[in-house]
Structure 1
Amino acid sequence: MSLKNGHDFDAGRRTALVVHVEPKSRKAIDNLDRDAHARLAEAVGLTAAIGLDVVGEHIVPLSRAVPATLIGSGKVEEIAAQARALEPEVVIVNAQLSPVQQRNLEREWKSKVLDRTALILEIFGERARTREGRLQVELAHLTWQRSRLVRSWTHLERQRGGFGFLGGPGETQIETDRRLIGERLAKIRRELEGVKRTRGLQRRARKRVPFPVIALVGYTNAGKSTLFNKLTSAGVLAKDVLFATLDPTMRGLKLPGGTKVVLSDTVGFIADLPHELVAAFRATLEEVLEADLIAHVCDAAHLETEAQKADVLKVLAELGVEPGRDRPFIEILNKIDVLDESVRAGLQARATARPNTPAAVSALTGEGLSLLLQRFEDMVTGGNIVLRLALEPSDGEGLAWVYRHARVLTRDDNGGNGIVLTLSANPQEVEKLGHRFSGKLSVNQDVMA
């Protein structure tokens, strides 16, 4: 091991130089102050997530994009000198590069170059555990790769000879590559349609025992999986790394008043999440689309909490979800245990005094979770009416209908003389129940489920 420019170098290490490109016009995009150093730190975290050892960091302010290299020639040379000194295996550019820009920078820096999209795709490729997850990542990667063929592989536009197995006579290499990618994409999409159908069947099965679904969403590393584990005693991987969770997990949860719900943990979102990934993970993210309540977990201790919130809402909008408008929505400020005591106390006081303010919790210590669970219950049952229904023991069809169309809170078989159910239903469900069980249903309008 030798010391080089202040860094320990090891022959077995995979090293990276991280370059964050900060557009001076970024605030004009969403009117939010975004800290360049926080963005650089996130890029370093993404780089570490694929096992690369970061040996150098650089922030490049950008007033105007240069078509050939994105950044100006002076900065290109400055980073080239840094790369010559550090000899990184790869240079990570925390921005989106065109194929031409990537190729030119690789030539200037004598190193492999990955942009933000390629880096995130690489992380997802390493983290996907289920067959569904791997298919979705491959779909995203191939879609992205195909979009770059025309621009980046013009040097491959040579005539392909051969036996015609891969294409007709005169087919160019780029046409072959594009066709092969297209065929693989079609196959993956067919398989994912099967996944979508299976998930649809699973959702219909859950609706037969209609427990409300609460979907946890949030910026990557906001603590969703830690909160999920704390509430459900599940063993979902919860690490202080970006994108620890890719595959969705669902667990049953009983709320303080006895209401049973299904809690869903989903993949974390991130700023500038590649559109290909949002599209590819749509089958997984449909759990969010179908949720009765969306719970947005935020890192209250992060320097860019507000910007991260905006990024999550942007991805939800891409999915066609408008939290608070088309379904109930609650914001959860997590990691309050690392805040100053006065700040923490203020957040908790507001959360207790006003029901529409964000919940303040620590998934790590359990602080604020009892109030959060009560908020969950109030929101998933808000506006529901408690009903009492008496059925004959022989009315199996009626009993099955009830379980499909309402939430059964209690059941008393009354020693075989009859079945008495206490139900929770919204006004539309009450109307259906009234038609189906006329004369057998009693409603207490003053009691809310």
Structure 2
Amino acid sequence: MTPTAKRMVTPVLLVGVDLGGDQFDGGLEELGLLAETAGLQPVARMTCKRKAPDAALFVGSGKADEIRTLAQMSGASEVLFDQALSPAQQRNLERHLELPVYDRTLLILEIFAQRARSHEGKLQVALAKLHYLSTRLVRRWSHLERQTGGIGARGGPGEKQIELDRRMIGESIKRTKDRLVKVKRQRSTQRRQRDRRETFNISLVGYTNAGKSTLFNSLVKADAYAADQLFATLDTTTRQLYLAQAGRSVSLSDTVGFIRDLPHGLVDAFAATLQEAVDADLLLHVVDASNPAFPEQMVQVWKVLREIGAADVPQLLVFNKLDALDPSQRPPTLVDQYDVEGIGTPRIFVSARSGEGLDLLRTALSDRVTQCDLRMPPALAPELPAHDT
């Protein structure tokens, strides 16, 4: 392909099933963004409602026929579901639709595989994909007949191809885990060195595309990759942030963004990276204030924080993208408190792009650091309960 040649984009049909939960995305907006991030082109969308997934086809045979018709009419060459499919459901749908079928879990894994840059990030994604593939072996391919054993035609039945595949994946999982253990040791050593220097550690967390990397760059004058897309950055980046009012530097880390229904395999695989959030003295929970769904996105972030054991780390809410708000939606003050399960949590409105509110954020961080040094409660209290140290 020449440099000027256009990249072929795969047309996909998006399918969402409303199972009665409160997290259903009726417009499939997020799935569409995920598809575009992965280099796919949504050409049609279909949603339906069911009380429970169909065991065989997830959507039932009638709706599966409608999906096949719409795919033919729209020219879609693949079908993408917004929910996780079982191996049997995926296999049955592919046979029924006569098209490749993928689910949200695999899509997120593929995006992570494309975006991982560091050695650690690549290992983590590889491990998550191996775990995912290990559940898709049963009767997935047509070459699973038993291989002939022995010499010539006298050999026994031998070993099934599926058993060979399972063993190879199992060995790959073991090798990848061993390599990640070494990386985790290195990160632990780095954290211990920071602890010996009595560094105050701050981690940025938040829903994907909330603007964490842009805020990180604005605060520390770094050049970490930032873009208006989902999962623009996956690898943890740590820099020193000097706070003039506190008269000292702190450690600031930018972590991977969270998302609804983040595959558990990814949460487990990224444990080493997310450990930065667990060990932090303060979490800056970055929220896209311009997104109408920000309350639901915050819930998803708290859910992941609970899963990784970081729910009790003190938080400061940073409502970003102030510049994207309509003038009628601008808050009367840039510093207030946001109710979290009956607890008033400090909140600051900022625009990482224009710089508005960043001075207030630096002041709040300086206050936290100073009061931590003096072993006094934060001036911006009340806050979420801190973990024991």
Aligned to 2:47: 59
Aligned to 2:86: 98
Aligned to 2:147: 160
Aligned to 2:324: 338
**Normalising by the residue count of structure 1, what TM-score does the alignment of the two structures yield?**
0.76
Question: Distance in 1 between the 2:333 and 2:35 partners?
Answer: 33
Question: Distance in 2 between the 1:15 and 1:299 partners?
Answer: 29
Q: Partner of 2:102: helix, strand, or coil?
A: strand
Relative to 1, partners in 2 of residues 1:129 and 1:340: Cα closer, same or farther, differing over 3 Å?
same
Q: Partner of 1:260: helix, strand, or coil?
A: strand
Question: Distance in 2 between the 1:256 and 1:351 partners?
Answer: 25
Aligned to 2:382: none
Aligned to 2:34: 46
Question: Distance in 2 between the 1:102 and 1:365 partners?
Answer: 46
Relative to 1, partners in 2 of residues 1:190 and 1:265: Cα closer, same or farther, differing over 3 Å?
same
> Could you tell me which amino acid in structure 2 is paired with residue 13 of structure 1?
V
Match for 2:365 among 369, 376, 382? 376
Match for 2:26 among 16, 24, 36? 36
Matching of residues 352-367 of structure 1 within 5 Å: 356-367=345-356
Aligned to 1:237: 225
For these two proteins, the number of residue pairs brought into alignment is 363
Q: Partner of 2:219: helix, strand, or coil?
A: helix
Relative to 1, partners in 2 of residues 1:351 and 1:372: Cα closer, same or farther, differing over 3 Å?
farther
Question: Distance in 2 between the 1:114 and 1:63 partners?
Answer: 22
Larger Rg belongs to: 1
Relative to 1, partners in 2 of residues 1:256 and 1:345: Cα closer, same or farther, differing over 3 Å?
farther
Q: Partner of 1:358: helix, strand, or coil?
A: strand
Question: Distance in 2 between the 1:16 and 1:81 partners?
Answer: 13
> Could you tell me which amino acid in structure 2 is paired with residue 15 of structure 1?
P
Relative to 1, partners in 2 of residues 1:169 and 1:34: Cα closer, same or farther, differing over 3 Å?
closer
Match for 1:315 among 289, 304, 322? 304
> Could you tell me which amino acid in structure 1 is paired with residue 12 of structure 2?
A
* Contact 2:87 2:135 survives alignment (8 Å): no
Aligned to 1:115: 103
The alpha-carbon deviation at position 177 of structure 1 amounts to: 1.2
> Could you tell me which amino acid in structure 2 is paired with residue 308 of structure 1?
Q
Aligned to 1:30: none
Question: Distance in 2 between the 1:199 and 1:266 partners?
Answer: 14
* Contact 2:149 2:159 survives alignment (8 Å): no
Question: Distance in 2 between the 1:12 and 1:300 partners?
Answer: 35
* Contact 1:137 1:280 survives alignment (8 Å): yes
**Normalising by the residue count of structure 2, what TM-score does the alignment of the two structures yield?**
0.87
* Contact 1:293 1:380 survives alignment (8 Å): no
Question: Distance in 2 between the 1:205 and 1:117 partners?
Answer: 36
Q: Give the gaps of 5 or more residues in structure 1.
A: 1-9, 28-32, 387-427, 430-449
Question: Distance in 2 between the 1:99 and 1:119 partners?
Answer: 15
Aligned to 2:17: 21
* Contact 2:335 2:349 survives alignment (8 Å): no
* Contact 2:9 2:39 survives alignment (8 Å): no
Q: Partner of 1:297: helix, strand, or coil?
A: strand
Instruction: Name whichever of 110-119 and 13-22 sits farther off.
Output: 13-22
Residues 30-69 of structure 1: CA deviation (Å, up to 9, x unaligned): xxx65522xx110000000111111112222232211111
| C-alpha RMSD of the superposition | 2.5
* Contact 1:328 1:379 survives alignment (8 Å): no
Relative to 1, partners in 2 of residues 1:303 and 1:163: Cα closer, same or farther, differing over 3 Å?
farther
Residues 90-125 of structure 1: CA deviation (Å, up to 9, x unaligned): 111111111111122212222111100010011111
Match for 1:298 among 268, 277, 287? 287
Q: Give the gaps of 5 or more residues in structure 2.
A: 1-5, 376-387
Relative to 1, partners in 2 of residues 1:201 and 1:63: Cα closer, same or farther, differing over 3 Å?
same
The alpha-carbon deviation at position 351 of structure 1 amounts to: 5.8
The alpha-carbon deviation at position 139 of structure 1 amounts to: 0.2
Question: Distance in 2 between the 1:163 and 1:381 partners?
Answer: 74
> Could you tell me which amino acid in structure 2 is paired with residue 14 of structure 1?
T
The alpha-carbon deviation at position 78 of structure 1 amounts to: 1.5
Q: Partner of 1:79: helix, strand, or coil?
A: helix
* Contact 1:269 1:311 survives alignment (8 Å): yes
Relative to 1, partners in 2 of residues 1:138 and 1:307: Cα closer, same or farther, differing over 3 Å?
same
* Contact 1:256 1:374 survives alignment (8 Å): no
Question: Distance in 1 between the 2:169 and 2:188 partners?
Answer: 28
* Contact 1:157 1:172 survives alignment (8 Å): yes
Aligned to 1:146: 134
The alpha-carbon deviation at position 355 of structure 1 amounts to: 8.9
Q: Does 1:286 align with 2:272?
A: no
Question: Distance in 1 between the 2:69 and 2:99 partners?
Answer: 12
Question: Distance in 1 between the 2:85 and 2:38 partners?
Answer: 20
Relative to 1, partners in 2 of residues 1:195 and 1:365: Cα closer, same or farther, differing over 3 Å?
same
The alpha-carbon deviation at position 347 of structure 1 amounts to: 5.1
